[in-house]
Copies of this chain bind each other. A is one copy, B any other.
Amino acid sequence: MRPKIYLFGDSITEESFGDGGWGASLAHHFSRTVDVVLRGYSGYNTRWALKVLDRVFPPEKEAASCGGGAPLAVTVFFGANDACLPDRCAAFQHVPVDEYKRNLLSILSFFKKRWPTTHILLITPPPIDEAARLLQKVCVQYIKVSNFLCLNKCRYPFAENTLGLPERTNDAAGAYAKACVDVAGECGTPVVGLWARMQQFPDWQKAYLRDGLHLTRGGNMIVFEEVVKQLRGSGLSLETLLVDLPLITAIDPNDPLKSFKE
């Protein structure tokens, strides 16, 4: 059984297998070594994530019977929705920053208890381009599949932005990013400081963000590269992972079947 890496997060994770997405790039990078498993839930914050942890990640007994159970790694990428402002149109997604920090700690505890050897990688929310957020007609972003399903299964209308103020600010996102980095420091967990990392580049607003929040191809590339770098730091790389079945370059052209004797 191939080892697994779970991607756990909000819409930036859920849409990470879209065109140029960081999740698909990871799956491609590890195409013969690891199963990259998508567990992204558009719109979710850490409060809701905590409520569903047990359902998203199978209980010990069931997991243990499936090839050992413990994944190699889990990326935990929440905060963009927690950081929605409490007095704006996406207020129902807001989680106070102190609670966000406690929730992240609880999520890490859950994983450490369930899978003591699994590498956890935190990712901070990205920066926010407030001007671009104001151009969105609705506060809550939905990816294509959700929109599609919404035709049949939508019970609640999209939250319209009637205030003329962005539902997220870059300063607020920065406070949640700092809290995430603090949690990583307290727990000795690696972290991708995406909020700060992206803002090192000029024109980060357009280069890395599609709508002031979600990622462009370039933004996805940064997440991919940073995740690969952090995984490598944890000892998980193409050089160290076992390749699933012989590579074509390891097959003797004069006696190919030799490679397939068990």
The interface of chain A, by Cβ under 8 A from chain B, is 1, 14-15, 17-21, 23-25, 27-32, 35, 37-38, 40-44, 47-48, 51-52, 55-56, 58, 62, 65-67, 92-93, 140, 142-146, 148-150, 152-156, 158-159, 238-239, 243-245, 247-254, 256-257, 259-260, 262
B residues in contact with A30, CB < 8 Å: 145
Q: Which of B58, B249, B252, B262 contacts A142 (CB 8 A)?
A: B249
Chain B nearest Cβ from A210, distance in angstroms: 15
Asked whether, in the complex, the Cβ of A62 is within 8 Å of the Cβ of B67, the reply is yes
B residues in contact with A238, CB < 8 Å: 145, 148-149
Q: This chain: how many copies in the complex?
A: 2
Task: Given A146-B247, A154-B250, A251-B156, decide whether A1 and B31 contact each other with a Cβ distance below 8 A.
Answer: no
Q: Please indicate which of the listed interface residues A58, A149, A159, A252 has the most CB atoms of chain B within 10 Å of its own CB.
A: A149
Chain B nearest Cβ from A85, distance in angstroms: 15
Q: Which of B14, B143, B244, B251 contacts A43 (CB 8 A)?
A: B251
Q: Please indicate which of the listed interface residues A20, A28, A144 has the most CB atoms of chain B within 10 Å of its own CB.
A: A28
18 additional A-B residue pairs with CB within 8 Å, beyond A41-B245, A42-B248: A21-B28, A27-B38, A29-B145, A31-B145, A32-B145, A32-B146, A42-B247, A48-B259, A52-B245, A93-B256, A142-B249, A150-B247, A153-B247, A153-B249, A153-B250, A154-B250, A155-B249, A156-B249
B residues in contact with A51, CB < 8 Å: 257, 260
Asked whether, in the complex, the Cβ of B260 is within 8 Å of the Cβ of A48, the reply is yes
Asked whether, in the complex, the Cβ of B153 is within 8 Å of the Cβ of A44, the reply is no
Asked whether, in the complex, the Cβ of B35 is within 8 Å of the Cβ of A37, the reply is yes
B residues in contact with A48, CB < 8 Å: 251, 256-257, 259-260
**What are the 8 A-B residue pairs with the smallest beta carbon separation, nearest first?**
A43-B248, A24-B24, A51-B260, A65-B65, A66-B66, A92-B253, A17-B28, A154-B249
How far is A262 from B55 in the complex, measured between Cα atoms in Å? 10
Chain B nearest Cβ from A33, distance in angstroms: 8
B residues in contact with A150, CB < 8 Å: 247, 249
Asked whether, in the complex, the Cβ of A31 is within 8 Å of the Cβ of B143, the reply is yes
Chain B nearest Cβ from A158, distance in angstroms: 8
Chain B nearest Cβ from A159, distance in angstroms: 7
B residues in contact with A14, CB < 8 Å: 31-32
Chain B nearest Cβ from A34, distance in angstroms: 10
Q: Please indicate which of the listed interface residues A47, A92, A93, A152 has the most CB atoms of chain B within 10 Å of its own CB.
A: A92
